[in-house]
Structure 1
Amino acid sequence: MVNDDWLTVNRENWDDRVRVHAESSFYDLPGFRAGASPLRSFERAELGEVAGKRLLHLQCHMGQDTLSWGRLGAEVTGLDFSAKAVEQARALAADVGLADRARFVVSDVYEAPAALPGERFDIVYTGLGSLVWLPDLTRWAEVVAGLLAEGGALYLVEFHPATDMLGEDGRTVDHDYFDAEPWRQDHAYTYTDGPALEKTVSVQFLHPLGEVVSALAGAGLRVEFLHEHPFTIFQRYPVLEESEPGIFTFPPGHPRVPLMFSLRARR
């Protein structure tokens, strides 16, 4: 199944997640419609001015991050392999008055060049929790490089792969950092509040940080920075404390590991 059907299995799983996520307090679509933004302040600072630029968001899900960049003045395109997620994103764009500056396309990442023939973007953005759904980062990086205009930049924000090594105490090393075997999971619930899923099986792929950087360098992109962050956006381990709304860190005295990272690489 992993070798042949991972894409089908994951698409079914994410199609099913849309009905749960759209009603969840985690995604808070009513709050977004009222003007709230899911973008973190460091993302806006690291990426810089986006007004007037063409921005492509790969694996955009229901489009909130995409539309948040649109609210900051970018001409945005969101791409996702779930038709149900794209349907929700298009409706959300209409709700917040961005239908004229936001486009959403159904495609998996590897087929993005065919879905957007000949198009080039000033910014390719990929947000949290995306890379684990891709088995081949070399191919991913080549797709990204091919979608960037000359001088354009990838901006990537992700959960740090070191977090997958640790046990629930956030201290004990329980898992092999270099484990390259796909993770087949069967979970009745998604990471948000809400009812159980009907399509519960998914397949994920873990990637060490060096693999991410090497794939981008191999595709001809120049890494401008790689920042590792001691905070995350949810209570990944029970010991984490909410140091400010929506930001979780280890308590004083607890050994810290990086919980997220952000990277910018330019063509």
Structure 2
Amino acid sequence: MEDYKHYFESNRQLWNKRTPLHRQSAFYNVDAFVAGQTSLNNIELEELGDVQGKALLHLQCHFGQDTLSWARQGANATGIDLSDASIEEARRLNQQLGLDAKFVQSNVYDLKENLQGQFDIVFTSYGTIGWLPDLEQWSDIINHFLKPGGTFYMVEFHPVAWMFDDDFKEIAYPYHNTYTPIVTETEQSYTDGSSHEKLTEYGWNHSLGEVVSSLTAKGLQLEFLHEFPYSPYNNFRHMEQGADGYWRIKHLGSKIPLLYSIKVNKPKN
């Protein structure tokens, strides 16, 4: 991963700047979270199911709300993230809530050097794999940390959504991963228009074929792949909320997918 190190470092600095903004934002609503509100959505709660007593590893956990929500559901939860500021905030929240989740600062690709053990569940969600250039190494990490008989579950924004320009008017980016980063100069976060100094972010789009094939190539068995024409978040431009509570691009309705979820299982033998 030598060639990608400066991309990761730039992204780490970006998330270090965003973390305090997100901690204070209405988007993450930390006050309600501390008071007992879960940060998890019905999609992942229903599709992943009971986590009581299970060891759960959360990849790219940001400042830990979902990790801590799974801990509240009874999981023995561990969260990892590239951003040291995010991990520090996650640890503060864990202590404030009196939970026993663990948090590790690490690039996903370096996790074998920074974490030991295996887990019943590996989980990741909403805006994670687009920060990773190579899914072969990602799936190797997942397989390494899954116990035999364990489950990997992810819910993520659909690669079709990432093909569009910000206004969802034109196709601006490739569907398939070219391994050349999509470079964006940004001084605004997706939360409440919060702004920071201008920073560069590097991302990669991943087709559904690439995601599924990277996992099954490790011997993991696909249980399902689901696609959804909506998002639980008002996270793109020109969104409107439907009667079902979910958000869609106003001028596109349900014509394009905005989310997908995948569940795979590691054979017991």
* 1:67 shift after superposition: 0.5
**Alignment partner, residue 15 of structure 2:** 14
Cα distance between partner residues in 1 of 2:169 and 2:28: 29
Please state whether the residue corresponding to 2:94 is helix, strand or coil.
helix
Gaps of 5+ in 2: none
TM-score of the aligned structures, taking structure 2 as reference length: 0.91
Per the alignment, do residues 52 and 237 of structure 1 end up closer, same or farther by CA in structure 2, a change over 3 Å counting? Answer: same
Partner of 1:264 in structure 2? 263
**Aligned counterparts of 1:243 and 1:249: Cα–Cα separation in 2:** 8
> Residue 142 of structure 2 aligns with which residue?
144
User: What is the aligned partner in structure 1 of residue 236 from structure 2?
Assistant: 236
1:228 and 1:262 in contact (8 A); partners too: yes
Deviation at residue 82 of structure 1 after TM alignment: 1.2
What is aligned with 1:74? 75
Deviation at 1:69, TM superposition (A): 0.5
Partner-residue secondary structure (3-state), 1:193? coil
Q: Indicate how the Cα distance of structure 1 residues 237 and 192 shifts in structure 2: closer, same or farther if over 3 A, else same.
A: closer
TM-score by length of 1: 0.92
Q: Is contact 2:15-2:83 (8 Å) kept?
A: yes
- Partner AA of 1:31 in structure 2: A
Cα distance in 1 between the residues matched to 2:131 and 2:168:
23
In the alignment, the residues of structure 2 paired with residue 252 and residue 166 of structure 1 have an alpha-carbon distance, to the nearest angstrom, of 13
Report deviation, 1:112: 1.1
Does the 8 Å CA contact 1:167/1:174 hold for their aligned counterparts? yes
1:197 aligns to 2:190 (yes or no): no
Provide the residue aligned with 2:105 in structure 1. Answer: 106
Using the alignment, how far apart are the partners of 1:236 and 1:135 within structure 2?
A: 22
SS in 1 for 2:247: strand
- CA deviation profile, 1:199-254 (whole Å, cap 9, x unmatched): 6111111111110001001111111100001111225241x320158620356984
Return the letter of the residue paired with 1:10: N
Structure 2: how far apart are the matches of 1:252 and 1:188? 27
Shift of 1:115: 1.0
CA distance in 2, matches of 1:10, 1:157: 21
Residue 194 to residue 90, structure 1, CA distance change in 2 (3 Å)? farther
Q: Note closer, same or farther for the CA distance 1:216–1:173 as it changes in structure 2 (3 Å cut).
A: same
Q: Which moved more, 1:252-261 or 1:29-38?
A: 252-261
Q: Report deviation, 1:196.
A: 2.1
**Which residue identity lines up with residue 50 of structure 2 in the other structure?**
E
| Superposition pairs of residues 128-207 of structure 1, within 5 angstroms | 128-167=126-165, 170=168, 172-178=170-176, 180=178, 181-193=180-192, 195-198=194-197, 200-207=199-206
The C-alpha deviation readout for 1:78-135, integer Å capped at 9, x for no partner, is: 111111111100111112221xx21111111011121112x00000000110001001
CA contact (8 A) 2:177 2:207 kept: no
Instruction: Sort the Cα spacing of 1:88 and 1:194 in 2 relative to 1 into closer, same or farther, 3 A.
Output: farther
Following the alignment from structure 1 to structure 2, what is the Cα–Cα distance between the partners of residues 253 and 236?
12
- SS of 2:216's partner is helix
Identify the residue that residue 24 of structure 1 maps to in structure 2.
25
Seen in structure 2, the aligned counterparts of structure 1 residues 3 and 71 have a Cα distance that, compared at 3 Å, is closer
Residues 116 and 170 of structure 1: CA distance in aligned 2, closer, same or farther (over 3 Å): same
Looking at structure 2, the residues matched to 12 and 41 of structure 1 have their Cα atoms a distance apart, in angstroms, of 32
Question: What residue number does 1:91 align with?
Answer: 92
Q: Take 1:74 and 1:129, find their aligned partners in 2: how far apart are those partners?
A: 22
Deviation at 1:257, TM superposition (A): 1.1
Contact kept? 2:126, 2:155, Cα under 8 Å: yes
Decide whether the 8 Å contact of 2:174 with 2:205 is kept in 1: no
Distance 1:104 1:44 in 2: 21
RMSD, aligned α-carbons: 2.1
Indicate conservation of the 8 Å contact 1:66/1:76, yes or no: yes
SS in 1 for 2:66: helix
For 2:86 and 2:165, how far apart are their aligned partners in 1? Answer: 32
